[in-house]
Amino acid sequence: MQSALVSVADKRQAFRRLHEAGCFVIPNPWDIGSARMLQGLGFKALATTSSGFAWSQARPDNGISREMALLHLAEMVAATDVPINADFESGFAADPAGVAQSVRLAVETGVAGLSIEDSTGQAAAPLFSVEEAVERLRAARRAIDRAGPDTLLVGRAECYLVGRPDLQETIARLQAYANAGADCLYAPGLRTRDEIAAVVAAVAPKPVNLLVGWASDLSVADISALGVRRISIGGALARAAWGGFMRAARLIAEEGRFDGFAQAAAGNELNAFFAADLDARSK
């Protein structure tokens, strides 16, 4: 499936402009249908979700192969007219050379940006050392500069997600990643206004991505006022969809009831949206 007449270069330029001022929400679809729906709702950029995609393939988060991820990225880029940012996990490699190879392949799919995490997946040592993480980011930067220099590189500090919610360590890592060539900084797990403001100030003027993957009393306006440039939601929409599915299915399986469909989307509404969307793509 090929998207409309928006080139990869145009998408990458538009994505960079979004990071220059203001604050935008970059929601996370997990397949073509959810991506087209979010684009239709007016979002200016989208980001993949490693967890949402993995669940759609009957796998746990971090349970997909590099090949699966690359095919998914290519499919999402081809199906949309807005920039796609790749949740590229830890680069599907431990060493800098492997990260560079993975990043080159990701850039070739046409993504407008990609993130590299500093998590190892090992319980005993859940994070790469700062020195190792910096070398991995530098390798990613070099690969992008050679393969698609307009592609945005996002450096992620996973401290809060691996049970090390240390703000000072997080800031030190993000600053090191900024110096290593990251264009945007991301520390998933920040929740308080003070934490968010501290990270924004520490890496300024580079833009910060904030994850809001839970029910939060912070609005987009609140987050924008803290200086955040972009807001992602990770696997939250996928979890919301799975939540509705599981509640309705369990009611049928356990109680023989069908009232779990009460808040289901109307088939006519979905058919109308996707028919109009398909027609627009065919012109």
Give the 3-state secondary structure of 83-132. Answer: CEEEECCCCCCCCHHHHHHHHHHHHHCCCCEEEEECECCCCCCCECCHHH
Beta strands in 118-273 (DSSP E): 152-156, 184-186, 208-211, 230-232
Task: Give yes or no for a contact between 181 and 138, defined as CB atoms under 8 angstroms apart.
Answer: yes
Note the pLDDT of residue 4.
Answer: 53
> Angle, nearest 10°, between helix axes 267-282 and 32-40?
90
C-alpha–C-alpha distance, residues 267 and 129, integer Å: 50
Task: Give yes or no for a contact between 153 and 160, defined as CB atoms under 8 angstroms apart.
Answer: no
pLDDT by residue, tens only, the chain of 283 residues = 445 579 999 999 999 999 999 999 999 999 999 999 999 999 999 999 999 999 999 999 999 999 999 999 999 999 999 999 999 999 999 999 999 999 999 999 999 999 999 999 999 999 999 999 999 999 999 999 999 999 999 999 999 999 999 999 999 999 999 999 999 999 999 999 999 999 999 999 999 999 999 889 999 999 999 999 999 999 999 999 999 999 999 999 999 999 999 999 999 999 999 999 999 988 8
C-alpha–C-alpha distance, residues 145 and 142, integer Å: 5
C-alpha–C-alpha distance, residues 259 and 67, integer Å: 40
C-alpha–C-alpha distance, residues 72 and 154, integer Å: 19
Using a cut of 0.75, tell me whether the model's pTM lies above it.
yes
Q: Which position has the token pair 């009393």?
A: 217
Q: Which domains does the chain have, with CATH numbers?
A: 8-235 (3.20.20.60)
Number of other CB atoms surrounding residue 244 within 10 Å: 15
